[in-house]
Structure 1
Amino acid sequence: MKRSAPDSNAPHEVDFQHIPTGGFFAECTQPSRQSAEEFALAKLVSLGEDPDVAAHAVALAGYTAADARTYAVRIYPTRTAIPPQ
C-alpha cells in the first residue's frame, strides 16, 4: 500500500536534543510544518548554532533528529495529523 506524504499544513511537533548528553527538551506543537521550521531555526540560532548549519538541519528534520552541531532537531506531524493507513 502506498503511503501518502504528511500534510505540511497539519500541526507539527518540534523537539530538540542536546547531542553531548542525549537529552531532549523544548517539545512544542506548531500549527504547520512551515511555522515549525521557523520556530526550530530561531531556537537553534538562539542556542548558538550557525544559521546556515541550523537551516540545513531544520530542512532535514523529521521523525529522526537532524544534527546541527551541538543540538539536533526533530519536526514531525502530530499523531492526530497522520492520515489513517
Structure 2
Amino acid sequence: MNNHRGRILPACFVVAVVAFGWYAIQTVRPPDCEVTVSAFADGDGQPLPEGGEEVTWGELDERAYQDLVASGRCEPPAARWRHWLS
C-alpha cells in the first residue's frame, strides 16, 4: 500500500503542475479592456442578421474587441500569466 502512495503523490503533483501551466499559457484579453456590444435582437434574443448573414453575440463581441485593438485602445490578447505580472 505504501508503494502505491509513493507513486500516486508525485503523479498528482505532476498533473497539477501541467494543468496549472496549461491554464497560465492560455491566451486571454487584458482584464482592463471592456467591450460593449449593442445590436437589434429578434424575439429569441439573438442579434438580427447583418448584410443577410447570421451573426452571434460572440462574433459581435470579438469584432468590437478587434476594432479596439486596431485603434490602440486595448492591448492584443496575451498569455494569462503576463496579466498576473501587471
Is the strand fraction higher in 1 or 2? 1
TM-score tier after normalising by the smaller chain length:
under 0.3
Structure with larger Rg: 2
Is the helix fraction higher in 1 or 2? 2
TM-score (norm 2): 0.25
